[in-house]
């Protein structure tokens, strides 16, 4: 099936011999029984597929996992309670029986930076930072530090840099190092990192896949090599997503291709409009022909799909000016998230990258006049009009 058809049909309508619903129901049971206890024994022993205890897996959650694994081209998936939980689980599984050294991109989501510095590093894992916009720097760091895992984002938050995923994945494969890629901003509609050689792909389900601002969740998609260890880890700790959230996430994912195509189209027009505004100093958008990673973007992404995130700097704006602009918005939602049907604006210095020291943010290029837009599905004329009156 084509990508759009997979989004609608994958995971649903499991044949059981009995009448089945058109959509996957919400399975609330914490445990399951079988006509023959020998079958339950085989399920516990992983000789027979089926549910036994919901920490090990839930039919609703399993359907969501099958759906997203199909979209990403993975051997399987694990849905987790949050995107950050998914990232932490992927990192822990990747580091099993490997050197406790992580090579990470310098430019990452603020909570990911916090996880690495405040949780992972104090637990005895060495964190090595590299400029992932320079594959030579990554290659040198691999040779010097021999990391046990590599962590990056397909499109870096919030400055929207696009590293050479294919080149970095080739370096990771050559060194036999698991590569973990946060693909939330790009989505599998733009790029599927497993096809380039990544070992794990992580999404915040809260964002584009669910798409309606009503689900908190994350998901890990992996290849055949790591699916068993990932499942074993999950059976012990039980980080899985609940059935209600799984149902909502699956329902949202069915319309994800339609929503994302519209969001990407709106983002192209909005970025061009922002670039022409006197109040805007600089626009960050992967669709900009002058983007510093234009060659990577042309090679990795389908033509015309550049994502639906746009960042921009307001000319000569201080913190109080940014607050005034956000307070003046009438339709665009000033809230902490992205990927929803409605357009949202976030102030990285206040929210996503708040915990970074101001000097650290400045070194990364995240200035105090930077705003990040997640473009929704509204009329782009209405989005521009609202931003125009707020910026005035």
Residues recognised as catalytic: 55, 109, 182, 207
Q: Do 248 and 379 touch, CB atoms closer than 8 A?
A: no
The residue among 371, 356, 392, 345 whose CA lies nearest residue 114 is: 356
What's the chain's Rg over C-alpha atoms? 21
Residues contacting 303, CB < 8 A, separation 6+: none
Coil/strand/helix, residue 225 = helix
**Residue 296 CB coordination number (10 Å):** 20
**What is the rounded distance in angstroms from the CA atom of residue 86 to the CA atom of residue 264?**
26
Sign of torsion over alpha carbons 87, 222, 70, 198: positive
Q: Which residues pair with 33 in a beta bridge?
A: none
**What is the rounded distance in angstroms from the CA atom of residue 197 to the CA atom of residue 167?**
10
How many CA within 13 A on the CB side of residue 325? Answer: 24
**What is the rounded distance in angstroms from the CA atom of residue 39 to the CA atom of residue 44?**
9
- Helices marked H in the chain — which ranges? 3-9, 37-44, 59-72, 83-94, 110-115, 135-145, 165-174, 187-190, 193-196, 224-237, 243-254, 256-275, 294-300, 319-328, 358-364, 380-391
Sign of torsion over alpha carbons 75, 81, 87, 89: negative
């Amino acid at each position: 099936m084509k990508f759009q058809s997979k989004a609608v049909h994958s995971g649903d309508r499991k044949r059981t011999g009995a009448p089945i619903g058109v959509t996957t129901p919400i399975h609330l049971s914490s445990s399951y029984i079988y006509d023959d206890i020998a079958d339950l024994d085989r399920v516990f022993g992983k000789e027979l597929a089926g549910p036994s205890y919901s920490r090990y897996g839930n039919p609703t959650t399993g359907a969501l996992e099958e759906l997203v694994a199909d979209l990403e081209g993975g051997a399987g998936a694990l849905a987790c309670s949050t995107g950050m939980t998914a990232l932490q689980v992927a990192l822990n599984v990747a580091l099993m029986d490997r050197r406790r050294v992580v090579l990470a991109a310098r430019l990452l989501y603020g909570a990911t930076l916090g996880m690495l510095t405040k949780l992972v590093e104090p637990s005895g894992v060495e964190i090595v930072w590299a400029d992932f916009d320079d594959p030579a720097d990554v290659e040198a760091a691999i040779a010097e530090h021999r990391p046990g895992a590599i962590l990056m984002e397909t499109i870096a938050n919030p400055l929207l840099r696009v590293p050479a995923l294919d080149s970095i994945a080739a370096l990771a494969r050559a060194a036999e190092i698991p590569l973990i890629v946060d693909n939330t901003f790009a989505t599998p509609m733009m790029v599927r990192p497993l096809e380039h050689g990544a070992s794990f792909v992580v999404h915040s389900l809260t964002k584009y896949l669910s798409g309606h601002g009503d689900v908190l969740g994350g998901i890990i998609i992996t290849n055949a090599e790591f699916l068993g260890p990932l499942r074993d880890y999950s059976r012990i700790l039980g980080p899985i997503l609940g059935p209600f959230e799984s149902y909502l996430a699956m329902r949202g994912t069915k319309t994800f291709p339609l929503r994302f195509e519209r969001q990407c189209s709106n983002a192209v027009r909005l970025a061009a409009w922002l670039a022409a505004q006197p109040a805007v100093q600089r626009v960050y958008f992967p669709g900009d022909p002058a983007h510093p990673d234009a060659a990577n973007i042309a090679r990795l992404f389908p033509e015309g799909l550049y994502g639906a995130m746009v960042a921009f700097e307001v000319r000569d704006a201080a913190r109080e000016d940014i607050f005034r602009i956000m307070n003046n918005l009438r339709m665009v939602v000033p809230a902490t998230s992205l990927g929803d049907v409605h357009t949202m604006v976030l102030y990285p210095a206040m929210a996503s990258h708040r915990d970074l020291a101001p000097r650290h943010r400045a070194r990364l290029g995240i200035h105090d006049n930077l705003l990040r837009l997640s473009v929704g599905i509204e009329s782009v004329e209405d989005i521009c009009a609202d931003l125009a009156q707020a910026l005035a």
